[in-house]
Structure 1
Amino acid sequence: MQLTYNTQDYSSAGYTEPNDSGLTGFGRQVVNEMAKLEMVVDLSHVGPKTSEDAINHAPEGKPPCFSHVPPSGMKEHPRNNSDHLMKLIGSKGGFVGLSQFGPHMKKDNDSTINDYVDALDYVIGLIGEDLVGIGSDASEGHGMLSEFMAWCNKDKGYARQLTSWGS
């Protein structure tokens, strides 16, 4: 389950927040409870400081994951994760699923399957093949300009516009 989606909530800060304040006290409780319930904490849309806090706070043997992210080592984008965070999550045994979402890939929407394989190889080089896989990031039946995508890319689904996708 995602800890947050793009913005600040009671537990954590998303990657679109101008001030990534990190995991809150309530967020620590959420991470602990999810571990008790055998739920994996997904940090895919979480800010970098909050991600690091959550990875370091997670109970031993209950690592979080990045279920669908590209590496920022191949393209700088606020949604992509740094080598540091990928290595940190890998050091705890956490999974990294690589997204193939065009705007976040090396060549944007012109990226090919070869570019995706390069991204897989890149992250495997950081944390090993056992912790890396395919991380789908698609909303089947919802095009980029759909009403659904417009809703997803607004703060809490109705407030400020977060990205230009879907608008």
Structure 2
Amino acid sequence: MKRVDVSYVLLFDEVNEKILMVKNTGPIGSYYTLPGGAVEPGETLQQAAVREVKEETGLDVEVNGIQSVMEAFFEVKGHHAIFFVFKGEVIGGEIEITLPEEIEEVVWMDVQEAEKYLNLPEGVKGFPIMTAPYSYHGRVKHTLSQRSNGK
């Protein structure tokens, strides 16, 4: 199976208790998800998350930690997908559908409604949202065995 990394961003409006959701359209029909998508070659998880939100919603975001990591096997496509969900914050832009062939709607949805569409593990449902740190350590030019041998 081919591994596919997918970065999503959880944007939570604490004042109104709403989550930003996008309604995707495609061959299997319409469905709601968090904004996000596949990581492109040479792109970090964080870069993919920020880019995907901009492409799908028109919003500029900053991500600040991993909210959850999930995985699934898509046997029909032959994919092993790893889903990385970052917690994010809107820092600019305006909601705009720039990919109408992929996105039908961008909506701030009530938490209880949004949770119906999100496959979050039981331990992370509800709020406040907990996160784990995420960091990118650059491109490594040695193997672990070279490093342990002092090279």
TM-score class normalised by the smaller sequence:
under 0.3
More strand by share: 2
TM-score, normalization by structure 2: 0.27
